[in-house]
Amino acid sequence: MAHVLIAEARFYAHLNDMLLEGARTAIEVAGHSHETITVPGALELPGAIALAAESGRFDAYVALGAVIRGETWHFEIVAGESARGLMALTMDGLAVGNGILTIENEAQAIARANPRHANKGGGAAEAALALLTLKNSFS
């Protein structure tokens, strides 16, 4: 049984509630355990996962959050740098599922976060578990 860390950027609480539901359900259905930590925003997710990885307590990681386009370049920076940070962790050998929504508006976010629709939280958890299975197959 794997122990999975769900790291969530709680900036949009109502969206994260849906993402968390999907991720937790996917992990539990697969027969694994999980813990959840919260960080202020998506930019903090890669750092939080890197810190947690140093503990050796977790087998896989799920990053959850939402970045909604606004009127400034901030969207591009947050979306790009959070994805880059998560990819760097994956390239370093961590099993990380990226569930950070990068969307134009709240309606798009709700459609993707809702576990009964696109279920991106569940998809991110499933991706992390798939990478963990692959990683373990090389051990």
Q: Helix, strand, or coil here: 139?
A: coil
Which residues fall in the annotated binding site for (2S)-2-hydroxy-3-oxobutyl phosphate? Answer: 71-72, 112
* Residue 87 confidence (pLDDT): 98
Asked if pLDDT for residue 70 goes beyond 90, the answer is no
* 8 A C-beta contact, residue 91 and residue 44: no
Are 1 and 32 in contact by the 8 Å Cβ rule? The answer is yes
- Do 101 and 43 meet the contact criterion of CB atoms below 8 Å apart? no
Q: Are 113 and 120 spatial neighbours (Cβ–Cβ below 8 Å)? A: yes
Give the pLDDT score at 39.
97
Q: How far is it, in rounded angstroms, from Cα 70 to Cα 135?
A: 38
Active-site residue list: 74
pLDDT of residue 119: 98
Q: What are phi and psi of 37, to 5 degrees?
A: -120, 160
Q: Domain spanning 3-137: which superfamily? A: Lumazine/riboflavin synthase (3.40.50.960)
* CA dist list (Å): 138 to 6, 78, 91: 24, 33, 15
- Count of alpha carbons within 13 Å of 131, Cβ hemisphere only? 21
Binding residues, as ranges, are 11, 42-44, 66-68, 71-72, 98, 112
Residue 72 scores a pLDDT above 90: no
pLDDT digits (tens, 9 = 90+) for 87-107: 999 999 999 999 999 999 999
